[in-house]
Amino acid sequence: MVSSGKMAVEVASASPDSDLAAVGQSAQRKAALRLIPIIGIGYGLAYMDRVNISYASLQMNQDLHFSASVYGFGAGLFFIGYALCEVPSNLLLLRFGARRWLARIMLT
Domain identity same for 73 and 89? yes
3-state secondary structure the chain: CEECCEECCCCCCCCHHHHHHHHHHHHHHHHHHHHHHHHHHHHHHHHHHHHHHHHHHHHHHHHHCCCHHHHHHHHHHHHHHHHHHHHHHHHHHHHHCHHHHHHHHHHC
Q: What angle do CA 102, 79, 104 make, to 5 degrees?
A: 15
Q: Which of 49, 66, 83 is the last residue of a domain?
A: 66
Domain annotation covers residue 102: yes
Q: What is the pLDDT of residues 23-79, one digit of tens each?
A: 889 989 998 899 899 989 988 988 888 788 778 888 889 899 999 899 889 888 888
Domain identity same for 50 and 83? no
Asked if 97 and 104 touch (Cβ cutoff 8 Å), the reply is no
Domain identity same for 76 and 43? no
Structural domains counted in the chain: 2
pLDDT at residue 91 is higher than 90: yes
Instruction: For residue 45, give its domain range.
Output: 14-66
Domain identity same for 58 and 32? yes
pLDDT at residue 2 is higher than 60: no
pLDDT at residue 13 is higher than 70: no
